[in-house]
Amino acid sequence: MTTSLRQRVLRLAGTYAFWIFGTLVTLIPIWWMFVVSMRSRVELFGRPNLMLSRFFTENYTNVLTDSAFQRYMTNSIVVSTSNAVLVMVLALLATYALSRYKLTGRDNIFFWLITNRMAPPAAFLLPLFIMFTRTFRIGGWTLYDTQIGLILLYCVFNLPFAIWLLKGVVDGIPIELDDAAMIDGAGLWGVLRHVIVPLAAPGLAVTGILSWVFAWNEYLFAANLTSVNARTITTGLAEFVTVTGTNWGELAAMSMITLIPSAVIVIVAQRYIVMGLTFGAVKE
């Protein structure tokens, strides 16, 4: 074996070893959570063991048959999906305007949008609580503890990121295609529907996925701006921690159920995520 070949083999082995180690570091906590979800209360206080001895499904049964969990799951699905759709529509329109029209202070507007995403969410918690409970009041109705309130709130934080993500995608679409479509008789909406949306589909997909995952995983605002009706699944996890103790088995079971939708969506749409993040990165 020559020296160069030996070096390539060692480099390849080191690369594989690095990624295997990183995979194990990532998956071991998930595996441990799954093992905990498959144990009874008595087994949980025994000797720690990473191996799964048996399938104890009572924790999952208790969670899935709980009416509160079903309400939390429904709220999370409605809020996350509605937020993702609304963000994609608004971000596409805003990005098209910033990319195609010579607006006054266009670069400043784009930078201002990004700065709105830089502040820590906790800094907005008190003013948002006041707005949700007092400012936006119509009769006896407020945005507090409502699905529409969470949907609009998550749009505030997701929209700047979505615009930033789609900006490079729309900029990578030649403006000559817009002109050709208009010559053929298409209006603005026709250009968006038949030219921009099909070509920007990978970017729209990754925008929708990331917006959905953010809304699905968000806890701070959901915990403080809801009470009963609009509580999401992440806030339901905290209910297993009480003053009398923590129900670790059901907490782990609910955590696994919460993890599954995000994991499935990311795995299924993985190729769109790669395409969307790299679209427009290289220009001739």
Asked if the structure places residue 229 within a domain, the reply is yes
Residue 282 CA to residue 284 CA, distance in Å, equals: 7
pLDDT at 282: 46
Task: Judge if 50 and 82 occupy the same domain.
Answer: no
Residue 249 CA to residue 240 CA, distance in Å, equals: 9
Task: Judge if 13 and 136 occupy the same domain.
Answer: no
Residue 221 CA to residue 125 CA, distance in Å, equals: 7
Cβ-based neighbours of 151, under 8 Å, separated by 6 or more: 79, 82, 83, 86
pLDDT at 277: 57
Task: Judge if 27 and 131 occupy the same domain.
Answer: no
Task: Judge if 4 and 130 occupy the same domain.
Answer: no
CA-wise closest residue to 229 among 79, 128, 60: 79
Pairing of strands 141-142, 241-242: unpaired
Per-residue pLDDT of the chain (284 residues; tens, 9 = 90+): 577 777 888 888 889 999 999 988 888 888 889 988 888 888 887 777 777 777 888 889 988 888 888 999 999 999 999 999 999 999 999 888 888 877 777 777 777 777 777 778 888 888 999 888 887 777 678 889 899 999 999 998 899 888 888 888 888 888 888 888 888 888 888 888 888 888 888 888 888 888 999 999 999 999 999 988 899 999 988 888 877 778 888 888 999 998 888 888 878 777 666 665 555 544 44
Residue 116 CA to residue 159 CA, distance in Å, equals: 10
Residue 133 CA to residue 142 CA, distance in Å, equals: 6
CATH number of the domain within which 123 lies = 1.10.3720.10
| H or E stretch at 254 | helix 248-268
Pairing of strands 137-138, 241-242: unpaired
pLDDT at 74: 93
* pLDDT tens for each residue of 107-165: 777 777 777 777 788 888 889 998 888 877 776 788 898 999 999 999 988 998 888 88
Asked if the structure places residue 284 within a domain, the reply is no
Residue 185, sorted as left (phi over 0), alpha (psi -120 to 50) or beta, turns out to be left
Asked if the structure places residue 48 within a domain, the reply is yes
| H or E stretch at 141 | strand 141-142
pLDDT at 122: 85
Asked if the structure places residue 194 within a domain, the reply is yes
Using an 8 Å Cβ cutoff, are 113 and 206 in contact? no
Host domain of residue 25? 1-56
Cβ-based neighbours of 79, under 8 Å, separated by 6 or more: 147, 150, 151, 154, 215, 230, 232
Task: Judge if 143 and 167 occupy the same domain.
Answer: yes
Asked if the structure places residue 283 within a domain, the reply is no
Q: The whole model's pTM is what?
A: 0.83
Task: Judge if 73 and 52 occupy the same domain.
Answer: no
Residue 21 CA to residue 206 CA, distance in Å, equals: 28
Helices (H), 172-247: 175-183, 188-191, 197-199, 201-217, 220-224, 233-237
Asked if the structure places residue 233 within a domain, the reply is yes
Task: Judge if 147 and 265 occupy the same domain.
Answer: yes
pLDDT at 9: 83
Helix, strand, or coil (residue 245): strand
Task: Judge if 18 and 86 occupy the same domain.
Answer: no
Task: Judge if 98 and 239 occupy the same domain.
Answer: yes
Task: For CA atoms 29, 81, 141, 69, give the dihedral sign.
Answer: negative
Asked if the structure places residue 232 within a domain, the reply is yes
Asked if the structure places residue 106 within a domain, the reply is yes
Task: Judge if 52 and 72 occupy the same domain.
Answer: no
Task: Judge if 265 and 199 occupy the same domain.
Answer: yes
Residue 241 CA to residue 188 CA, distance in Å, equals: 53
Number of structural domains found in the chain: 2
Task: Judge if 36 and 76 occupy the same domain.
Answer: no
